[in-house]
Amino acid sequence: MRRALLVLVLVTGAAPLALAQATPERPKDQSPGTVAPGEIERLRREIESETRSNLELLLDAHTETGGLNDKLRYLRFGARLNLRRGSGSTLRLTAIQAPYATEGGIVEESATSLSIGALGRHSEAIGYEWEIGAVRFSTGRWDGTGLLRLTVRASDALRYSVGVSRTLVEESMLSAVGLDPVLGPFAGERVGAVTDNRLSASVSWQLPLRLDLVGEGALGIHAGSNTGSNLFKRLGGGPFWNAVAKAPEESISLLRIGAWFEYFGFDEDRLGYGGASLVDARGQEVPLDELGSDGISPEPDPPHPGVGGYFSPEHFTSLVGRVELRGRASPELEYNVAAFLGRQSYTGVESRGAGGIAASLKLRLGDRVSLPLSYVWDDYGPFTQQTLRARVVWLF
């Protein structure tokens, strides 16, 4: 949940940007019939990138703070084939290998996933995206993931989307893969391996003076082996102002400023590890051949959290300011920087600061190859985390 929240805060409001940039400002030294040097080549490249099939090589590296139970790191790598079809849709085939490790490599597991999906438009007003996948873990367990989303452009100013999804909760080894205690209340049973199953909706409404409002909501359940079914609800939204909205080739094509309010809550606090903890009640490390002997209750009994291994407070609220800057430093280099700063509070913790930053670069290495890179850091929720993503995209 905390990783999903960071992504939402950093990228929320992207939907109205196409509207904001639909009628870019023409440079003052150009008449309506003038074609700027390099403009035809730029347009040709952009049209090719949107209409040609491509192969992506994927690499994600992630780490975070926390104790032995909480801290999870992974180096995910794989490939995605995007096949453009004559109808304007894109068929996606993705293969991912994700090795997971706790601090010090005490527990090391992995997951291999295969998925197929597509995105496109049913009409000028309706777009769609779907994906279905299968995941096999090194423990021998299988799981499934999926996504279905419809986006409706009701008018030039209003658009909304609805969707359902099932994803892995990659917040700890317990939640992402699960553990097998040999002693204690879960001896011989799987504990953890939690999935996020949700129904979500979002809306964006463009107003005059380059203003827009964005809102999102979700209702769902986190469920896993011996961790119960934990109902959650989420609401978020805020106003944004496109202070600068120019053509994509400008050195500064977008400056977007806004505020974002976030609320979510779970029925039960499941950020616990009782019965499958790598640390016992006295703070001593538990050997793997004695896993389950920690002596910590697995049942949620406030303020004691139940077993689950994921951030799930009864109440979480935050209010942050957000700014985004994007543009093109040169014909071969695009950039995007987003940051937020504000306050957060959640059950059992007094109000404190919240902040994060995301930066990305896209380097074009000729007509066929590009190299998108991104880095994300945040202090949002109980732990800080950082993720580095690298892609190699080859058009064919």
H or E segment to which residue 90 belongs: strand 90-102
Q: What is the pLDDT along the chain (396 residues), one digit of tens a residue?
A: 655 555 555 655 444 444 444 344 433 344 334 545 555 555 556 666 677 999 999 999 999 999 999 999 999 999 999 999 877 899 999 999 999 999 989 999 999 999 999 999 989 899 999 999 999 999 999 999 999 999 999 999 999 999 999 999 999 999 999 999 999 999 999 999 999 999 999 999 999 999 999 999 999 999 999 999 999 999 999 999 999 999 998 999 999 999 999 999 999 999 999 999 999 999 999 999 999 999 999 999 999 999 999 999 999 999 999 999 999 999 999 999 999 999 999 999 989 999 999 999 999 999 899 999 999 999 999 999 999 999 999 999
Distances (CA, A) of 63 to 60, 105, 255: 10, 13, 30
Which domains occur in the chain, in start order? 2-23+45-395 (2.40.160)
DSSP 3-state of 364: strand
Q: Which two tokens stand for residue 227?
A: 């961790």
Q: Which residues contact 31 (CB under 8 A, 6 or more apart)?
A: none
Distances (CA, A) of 97 to 63, 71, 113: 17, 20, 7
Cα separation, 178 vs 193, whole angstroms: 4
Residue 375, φ and ψ in degrees, nearest 5? -135, 135
Q: Residue 44: how many CB atoms within 10 A of its CB?
A: 11
Please, are residues 204 and 239 in contact by the beta-carbon 8 Å criterion?
Answer: no
192: left (phi over 0), alpha (psi -120 to 50) or beta: left
HSE-up of residue 133 (Cα within 13 Å, Cβ side): 25
Flag whether the pTM goes above 0.75: yes
